[in-house]
């Protein structure tokens, strides 16, 4: 005896499923118009999220325009950290090795925790 299994879709309303598909196409078309053709979708989403975070952190005022050549300034303690991290990076050490070196020297991270490769990566990219 052959058994037949039938899977029923919980949404049997064809009109609402067509409406959802139309809405998705309209949304994708609007995103493509905003995004432009020069960058990928994931890069566009990342940039939009960063811009949104900048606006929310400062009450609607952005720190700097997204494609500006603004330079961040650091305190003397942070400059020493950046210089030593860049020196170690120039010697060929990986970020985790730099973090281990900072931890062995007893250098405190800005948040008071032990250094890790992600913190070193942020330190090197923001400077």
pLDDT for position 127: 65
Tell me what the mean pLDDT of segment 68-82 comes to.
Answer: 64
Helix axes 41-57, 14-35, angle to 10 degrees: 80
Dump pLDDT digits (tens) for 16-40: 656 566 666 777 777 777 766 677 7
Dump pLDDT digits (tens) for 99-121: 999 999 988 888 888 999 888 98
pLDDT for position 81: 83
pLDDT for position 125: 83
Judged by phi (left if over 0) then psi (alpha if -120 to 50, else beta), residue 63 lies in: alpha
113: its two tokens: 């925790």
Q: Model confidence at 61, in pLDDT bands (50, 70, 90)?
A: very low
Model pTM score:
0.43
Please say whether the beta carbons of 119 and 99 come within 8 A: yes
Tell me the three-class secondary structure of the chain, residue by residue: CCCCCCCCCCCCCHHHHHHHHHHHHHHHHHHHHHHCCCCCHHHHHHHHHHHHHHHHHCCCCCCCCCCCCCCCCCCHHHHHHHHHHHHHHHCCCCHHHHHHHHHHHCCCCCCCCCCCHHHHHHHHHHC
């Amino acid at each position: 005896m052959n058994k037949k299994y039938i899977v029923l879709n919980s949404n049997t309303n064809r009109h609402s499923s067509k409406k959802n598909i139309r809405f998705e196409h309209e949304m994708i078309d609007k995103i493509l118009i905003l995004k432009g053709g020069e960058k990928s979708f994931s890069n566009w989403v990342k940039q939009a999220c960063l811009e949104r975070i900048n606006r929310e952190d400062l009450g609607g005022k952005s720190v700097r325009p997204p494609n500006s050549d603004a330079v961040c300034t650091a305190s003397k303690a942070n400059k020493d950290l950046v210089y030593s991290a860049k020196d170690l990076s120039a010697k060929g050490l990986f970020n985790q090795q730099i973090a281990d070196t900072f931890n062995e020297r007893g250098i405190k991270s800005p948040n008071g925790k032990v250094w890790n490769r992600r913190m070193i990566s942020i330190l090197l990219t923001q400077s």
